[in-house]
Amino acid sequence: MPPPTGPAGSRRRAGPVAALLAVGLVAGIFLSATVGSEWIPFAAVLAILAREVGLGGGFAPCAGLAVAPSQCTVWTEIVWDARMPSILVAVFAGAALALSGGTLQGVFRNPLADPYLLGISSGAAVGAAILLTFQLAVADQATLLPVFAFGGALVPGLVIYAAASGRRRGPESLVLTGVALSALFSAVLATFLFYNPAAGLQLSFWLLGNLQAETWTDAAIVAGVVVAGGTLIALSGRELNVLQLGPAIAESVGVEATRHTRRLILLSTVVTATSVAFTGVIGFVGLVSPHVVRLIVGPDYRKVLPISALFGGVFLLVAWDLALRILPPLALPVGIPTSFVGVPFFLYLLYRRRPVGP
């Protein structure tokens, strides 16, 4: 039973909160460009960003810093070609997870729903494991890993989509189908790991979330899918609100429950699968972000969805920065800081809520 989520008066906060998150996101992107294993002067970072973004062609980023031009070129490559794509993937993947989490929590009317509820993460892990265990196409492994992961992620998603299209089943049976598929895929994964333990090491990093070594292509794909899919999802905020009353009342008010449910599940699956394909499995962002946002702006999905996307982007970006800063020069799997921050926060949310009044 969902907890009461904030007083009705919190609706006025939505605008300022969204603005704050947007500003924080942009600032975070710039600041994150300074985070990495190599120390690069802050001024140089900003100058590089300004030049690459096209703001100042005449900037000589390393002027006055007494470094060789080749060193400056390397710094540009590091900041713009290595760090920036990872940062952008973090932002868009965080948005994707938060958006999917909020959507699935609404579609299934279950506060514990997260983007992986339908077995997407296990499916993606199996897809990746197939590639790594059997050492297929080793030379192109880097390019193929997201493809295999995405394909694997779609399998449970499509099964659930088909199930949702069939005779009217309640959300409970869809969730149970997802749980069953997750268990099945986990067993398949365990079999693969037993067969080739060496692949297990590579896979384990992927299972904890890996934002390193993202390319501009990766960032473009993630950004494109998340913006397109996310926009379509966020535009269904009104329908999602009405669906909270149950499919029967929703239909009586004019919302075609089955059609919208299917569509939202499909969009969430695609958006999450794309994100997981490029980042591995990152937990808690999708579960916690919508709850935090609901506490601040209220339960209206027209606001919760877009603001969750912003929050998720900021959350994952901060987690990524932490991952780079905790044990330099190692980059921790980003799922570690999200869990360490997310779990206590989630427990706090769970136990602080006031019991529902009469």
> Per CB under 8 A, which of residues 34..63 are in contact with another protein?
36-38
Q: Residue 337, preceding bond cis, omega within 30 degrees?
A: no
Q: How far is it, in rounded angstroms, from Cα 59 to Cα 73?
A: 13
CA atoms within 13 A on the CB side of 311: 28
Does residue 170 bind another protein (CB under 8 A)? no
Q: Which of 19, 30, 176, 231 binds another protein (CB under 8 A)?
A: 231
Note whether 136 binds another protein by CB under 8 A.
no
Closest CA to 324 of 338, 334, 313, 311: 334
Q: Is residue 186 near another protein by the rule CB under 8 A?
A: no
- Residues between 137 and 156 with contacts to another protein, criterion CB under 8 A: 138-139, 141-143, 145
Segment 3 to 32, residues that bind another protein, using CB under 8 A: 4-9, 11
**Interacting positions 265-294 with another protein (CB under 8 A):** 294
Pairwise CA distance, residues 164 & 85, whole Å: 36
173 binds another protein (CB under 8 A): no
* Residue ranges of E strands in 153-209: none
Among 187, 327, 347, 350, interactor with another protein by CB under 8 A: 327
Q: Does residue 66 touch another protein according to CB under 8 A? A: no
Which two three-digit tokens encode residue 145? 């890993």
Return the SS3 of 27.
helix
The answer to whether 205 contacts another protein (rule: CB under 8 A) is yes
Displacement of CA 165 from its chain's centroid (Å): 26
Total residues contacting another protein (rule CB under 8 A)?
Answer: 72
The correct pick among 212, 340, 341, 349 for binding another protein (CB under 8 A) is: 212
**Considering the complex, what minimum distance in angstroms separates the CB of residue 33 from another protein?**
12
Question: Cα–Cα distance between 312 and 295 in angstroms, integer?
Answer: 15
Q: Does 82 bind another protein (CB under 8 A)?
A: yes
* Position among 69, 166, 355, 358 found at the interface with another protein (CB under 8 A): 358
From the list 152, 173, 117, the residue with the least C-alpha distance to 290 is 117
Distance (Å, rounded) from C-alpha 226 to C-alpha 234? 11
Asked whether position 213 contacts another protein by CB under 8 A, the answer is yes
What is the nearest approach in angstroms of another protein to the Cβ of residue 349? 14
